[in-house]
Amino acid sequence: MKFDKDTVARVARLARIATDDAERQQLAGELSSIIEWIDTLGEVDTDEVEPMTGVGAMTLKWRPDEVTDGGVADDITANAPASSEGCFVVRKIVE
């Protein structure tokens, strides 16, 4: 697929990207090269390759949905410059 300046102008307008005439000509060539490269991927023989993931054969591990604090509040607040009773202490910035 070859891109021309009009197609690039339309794509740029849809993407809300400002381009001038010289940029459109350059982008047309670059986009055409990208599409040609992508087309070459279609020539790769993938008949013997199994998909890595699929919708059907996957089963998820279930766990109980329990709300916890993680049990590491003291470890987290230990890195804070100031903490009190398991909470971060920050200075008041709004009066």
Q: pLDDT for 19-72, tens place per residue?
A: 998 899 999 999 999 999 999 988 888 888 887 766 666 677 888 888 877 778
Query: What confidence tier does 3 reach under pLDDT thresholds 50, 70, 90?
Result: confident
Number of domains in the chain: 1
**Residue at 94: amino acid letter:** V
- 85 CA to centre of own chain: 38
Would 27 be classed as within a structural domain?
A: yes
Would 33 be classed as within a structural domain?
A: yes
Query: What confidence tier does 17 reach under pLDDT thresholds 50, 70, 90?
Result: very high
Q: CA torsion angle for 48, 53, 56, 59 (degrees, to 10)?
A: 130
Residue 31 belongs to what domain range? Answer: 5-42
Instruction: List the beta bridge partners of residue 87.
Output: 84
pTM of the shown model: 0.47
